[in-house]
Amino acid sequence: MAIRICLFLVSLLVTSHCAIGQVADKLYLGGEIVTVNDAQPFAEAVAVKDGKILAVGSAAEIAKYRDQKTQVVDLAGRTMLPGFVDGHGHCFNVGLQAVAANLLAPPDYTITDIPGLVVELQKWAASGMAQKYEIVLGVGYDDAQLKEQRHPTRHELDTVSKEIPVLAIHQSGHLCTMNTKALEIAGITAESKNPQGGVIRREADGKTPDGVLEETAFMAAALKVMPKMGQEEFDALALEGMREYAKNGYTFAQEGRSMKTIDEAWMRLATNQKMLIDVVSYPDITFSDEPFGIDTPWFSKTLKNGYRIAGVKLSFDGSPQGKTAFLSQPYFVPPHGQPSSYRGYPSVPAEEVNRKIALCYQRGWQFLAHCNGDAASDMMLGAVKDARASYGPGEDRRDVMIHCQILREDQLDAMKEFGIIPSMFGMHCFYWGDWHRDSVLGPERAERISPARSALRRGMIFSQHHDAPVAKANAIRILSSVVTRRTRSGDILGAGQCIPVSAALKSLTLWAAYHHYEESNRGSIEVGKLADFVVLDRNPHKIPEEELSELKIMETIKEGKTIYTAK
């Protein structure tokens, strides 16, 4: 009935000429509109012109912007929100994951044990992909979810192939397993030393590599065995990544640790006006002081054809679920072969952390710093304190700590003082909450992972992210996870850190836009901003919290044009 009344008001108020001199290209009405704008939280209708929001208000008010050429879009009782803004992810690698063998555990896929993982790799190889790329590539296995509670070994991957490399990438993106052929191509032998910030795991003799590589050891080896692709393949993967983001309601994505070949793909797509959604890139400077693209016009606070380089990325430790994050206190259950005092390790020494952050302050670069463990966060915060003392606080710096898994209260105080924005990985509560409680951190520390409520109590702006392809680029799963903190087993991990739906939605839209310097362009449904919207089947404010995970993305709209519709 409400929908029919709204449409009737529009038809009643239509004139041959717009009453106020501006004519909308489209009107959206007939549903519930959640604006994420505190000054006007809800609306009945939105008018769009030239890809931007012309007006927001009641159906009667918005009808004034219509003439005979205006398209009226009936939301049919569904709920429209601002398009989701990626707090942190790797859009290109989402495309890579889409073409690799899927090794994810339920509910995202079906892999629950190592034999099933091997079968999935064999199926992918038999499909012709292995012949095309001269590698068997799988993405997303998680030892925490495998029945064996361990990584596969090189011998198990040898059953897939002994002739070509087999590479299975851990869901964290910080570890992998290689078969014997891949280790050979990577030049990893019993004589190989562990690199700085990485580990080559060994067999019982303490020398022979067992196939599992951590952190920098994994990254260096993967570069040697990954398939050699040309521009066409790179561009196709980037496009596929954007399609996956759009499918999940995102109109703005992050390339959260880019390299030259990836940024070149984004530049080509932007130059040729082939961007489906907007993408910002942060080239990695962990191992280089001169990131690609930073000296080009693409390095800007203004998007050009949907792309720009926004700043730089630093990485200071690894993955908590992979037990490579750098903690101040030991892991609850150390990895196999490690002593009870094991705390993980930093990716780079403390003096290098200090130098890199000082460089960012000196050159005026915004930076994203990967810190999972609280010891890594200590290194970052100490370096920021020193850089501010040397170079001043800087003008409108919006540096971001990525992941923030094991932040202490004193660290949040320091972040607020220094203006550092947390980007939290609240999905961990669902995906790895049980693992953190029982193996990684123990019950007490696990209760405080991703402490969003603590940040909220301090009045801090923060974003929430998926780190795709570490987890699916699923904003609905993030929303459910941070509001309920429910784990895969059904436990509630740290009820005191739950946040309300309103704050969760801001962390996925307006606050994420802020940390990208994009709050004037997107993140809320307000006049003058881009007409970037996501349409859900129901209103997240009006359903029970336990049903949030069941919300469906019905449509994604970029600058007034539909780029995804649910089948």
| Whether residue 491 is found in the same domain as residue 362 | yes
pLDDT at position 129: 83
- The band of 14, judged by pLDDT with boundaries at 50, 70 and 90, is very low
| Whether residue 56 is found in the same domain as residue 112 | no
β-strand partners of 446: none
H/E stretch holding 428 reads helix 428-431
Handedness of CA 87, 91, 96, 101 (dihedral sign): positive
What is the mean predicted confidence (pLDDT) over 106-132?
93
Q: Residue 66 corresponds to which tokens in the numbers above?
A: 């219509």
| Whether residue 70 is found in the same domain as residue 99 | no
What is the mean predicted confidence (pLDDT) over 223-245?
93
CATH number of the CATH domain containing 98 = 3.10.310.70
| Whether residue 210 is found in the same domain as residue 262 | no
| Whether residue 124 is found in the same domain as residue 18 | no
DSSP 516: T
| Whether residue 293 is found in the same domain as residue 438 | yes
CB 36 within 8 A of CB 81: yes
Q: Transcribe 233-251 into DSSP letters.
A: HHHHHHHHHHHHHHHTTEE
CATH number of the CATH domain containing 291 = 3.20.20.140
pLDDT at position 16: 34
pLDDT at position 12: 38
Tens-place pLDDT, residues 76-103: 999 999 999 999 999 999 998 988 999 9
Closest by alpha carbon to 471, among 225, 124, 109, 101?
109
Measured CA to CA, the distance from residue 483 to residue 476 in angstroms comes to 11
H/E stretch holding 47 reads strand 42-49
Tens-place pLDDT, residues 512-525: 999 999 999 999 99
Decide if pLDDT at 135 tops 80. Answer: yes
pTM value surpassing 0.75: yes
pLDDT at position 311: 98
DSSP 300: S
Is 415 a domain residue?
Answer: yes
Is 528 a domain residue?
Answer: no
pLDDT at position 366: 98
pLDDT at position 131: 84
Is 561 a domain residue?
Answer: no
- Provide CB contacts within 8 A for 488, sequence distance 6+: 430, 431, 433, 434
Query: Could you give the number of structural domains in the chain?
Result: 3
| Whether residue 271 is found in the same domain as residue 419 | yes
- The band of 6, judged by pLDDT with boundaries at 50, 70 and 90, is very low
- The band of 2, judged by pLDDT with boundaries at 50, 70 and 90, is very low
| Whether residue 290 is found in the same domain as residue 181 | no
* Mean predicted lDDT score pLDDT of the chain: 94
Tens-place pLDDT, residues 248-307: 999 999 999 999 999 999 999 999 999 999 999 999 998 889 999 999 999 999 999 999
| Whether residue 374 is found in the same domain as residue 432 | yes
Tens-place pLDDT, residues 403-423: 999 999 999 999 999 999 999
Tens-place pLDDT, residues 479-509: 999 999 999 999 999 999 999 999 999 999 9
Is 138 a domain residue?
Answer: yes
Tell me which residue range forms the domain holding 15: 2-77
Decide if pLDDT at 324 tops 70. Answer: yes
| Whether residue 266 is found in the same domain as residue 340 | yes
- Provide CB contacts within 8 A for 451, sequence distance 6+: 404, 407, 409, 412, 424, 497
What is the mean predicted confidence (pLDDT) over 19-37?
91
Pairing of strands 26-34, 42-49: antiparallel
Task: Point out the least confidently predicted range of 4-13, 101-110, 139-148.
Answer: 4-13
CATH number of the CATH domain containing 29 = 2.30.40.10
Tell me how crowded residue 354 is: count the other CB atoms within 10 A of its CB: 18
Give the Å distances, CA to CA, from 415 to 142, 407, 409: 31, 10, 10
- The band of 13, judged by pLDDT with boundaries at 50, 70 and 90, is very low
What is the mean predicted confidence (pLDDT) over 50-68?
96
What is the mean predicted confidence (pLDDT) over 40-60?
98
CB 298 within 8 A of CB 307: yes
| Half-sphere exposure (Cβ direction) of 445: Cα atoms closer than 13 Å | 20
pLDDT at position 56: 98
pLDDT at position 52: 98
Is 285 a domain residue?
Answer: yes
Cis peptide before 107 (omega within 30 of 0): yes
Is 550 a domain residue?
Answer: no
Tens-place pLDDT, residues 543-560: 999 999 999 999 999 999
CB 367 within 8 A of CB 357: yes
Domain boundary among 77, 109, 129: 77
Domain boundary among 170, 192, 225: 225
Instruction: Identify the three-state secondary structure at position 133.
Output: helix
Domain boundary among 157, 191, 225: 225
Is 146 a domain residue?
Answer: yes
What is the mean predicted confidence (pLDDT) over 158-176?
95
pLDDT at position 229: 85
Decide if pLDDT at 454 tops 50. Answer: yes
What percentage of the chain reaches a pLDDT higher than 70?
A: 96
| Whether residue 306 is found in the same domain as residue 446 | yes
Max Cα–Cα distance, the chain, nearest Å: 85
The dihedral formed by the CA atoms of 495, 499, 501 and 503, expressed in degrees to the nearest 10:
-170
| Whether residue 440 is found in the same domain as residue 413 | yes
What is the mean predicted confidence (pLDDT) over 241-253?
98
Alpha-helical runs (H) found in 85-206: 91-99, 114-126, 129-133, 154-158, 180-186
Alpha-helical runs (H) found in 14-148: 59-63, 91-99, 114-126, 129-133
pLDDT at position 8: 40
- Provide CB contacts within 8 A for 379, sequence distance 6+: 316, 326, 346, 350, 353, 371
- The band of 20, judged by pLDDT with boundaries at 50, 70 and 90, is low
Q: Transcribe 434-472 into DSSP letters.
A: HHIIIIIS-HHHHTTSS-HHHHHHTT---EE--TTTTS-
Is 542 a domain residue?
Answer: no
pLDDT at position 21: 67
Closest by alpha carbon to 249, among 535, 523, 32?
535
